[in-house]
A and B are shown apart, each in its own frame.
Chain A
Amino acid sequence: DQQVKQNSPSLSVQEGRISILNCDYTNSMFDYFLWYKKYPAEGPTFLISISSIKDKNEDGRFTVFLNKSAKHLSLHIVPSQPGDSAVYFCAAKDYGGSQGNLIFGKGTKLSVKP
């Protein structure tokens, strides 16, 4: 059973608009959540993270929101740019696990149209 779920395989957004990528999880022992961005033929690159003790973390155009009661997190990109077109993976770390020992969702492919 998937512990981290990204239910939207793809998302298309107009340049300049907001992109919202969603992620749900089932394991209440997750204590750290991350978003990775992946271009074709490259490895994932870290984008932004949030600890389970927070509900929001912001870094420039990227904001991650965490709703622990709903076991839901989302990534907001404002404004969206064509260079943001990539696959975005949500990932979670179990309490006590090492930082790179992560459970990944299946990813959402974001297309930002000029």
Chain B
Amino acid sequence: NAGVTQTPKFQVLKTGQSMTLQCAQDMNHNSMYWYRQDPGMGLRLIYYSASEGTTDKGEVPNGYNVSRLNKREFSLRLESAAPSQTSVYFCASSSLGRPGGAFFGQGTRLTVV
């Protein structure tokens, strides 16, 4: 049982390049999330998908787009990467009625140069 799987684990981009971070969960959770964590900061919500077919902005959505491809997969796209998007990105999932908040993937460390 893998839980939440993110790919890639590491990525270096040049300013202006685009890329998609992939996330998949095998826990049959309805909701999925993308967070970013910057040094000395807590995690901040970028986008979330409460259920398949829906997406909503979180606290820091600018510069990102998301796609809830199906119940299992939730991708995060950077259309034109900027150095300010250098961060560690975490995907998470949760299910209504189950305790424990969100279950997190291992993270993607992204550097934009």
Binding site for B on A (CB under 8 A): 4, 6, 9, 32, 34, 36, 41-46, 49, 89, 91, 93, 98-107
Contact = CB atoms under 8 A, between A and B. Distances in A.
B2 interface: no
B60 interface: no
B35 to A, nearest CB: 8
Contact of B101 (A4, A41, A93, A105): A93
Contacts, number: 76
Nearest to A9: B40
Given A89-B43, A91-B42, 6 more contacts: A9-B40, A44-B90, A89-B42, A91-B43, A102-B45, A106-B40
Given A41-B107, A42-B107, A99 B101 contact: yes
Contacts of B61: none
A36 B92 CA distance: 13
A29 B40 CA distance: 26
Contacts of A89: 42-43
A42 B104 CA distance: 9
B93 interface: yes
B90 A99 contact: no
Contact of B96 (A6, A44, A45, A99): A99
Given A34-B101, A104-B43, A106-B42, A42 B106 contact: yes
B43 A44 contact: yes
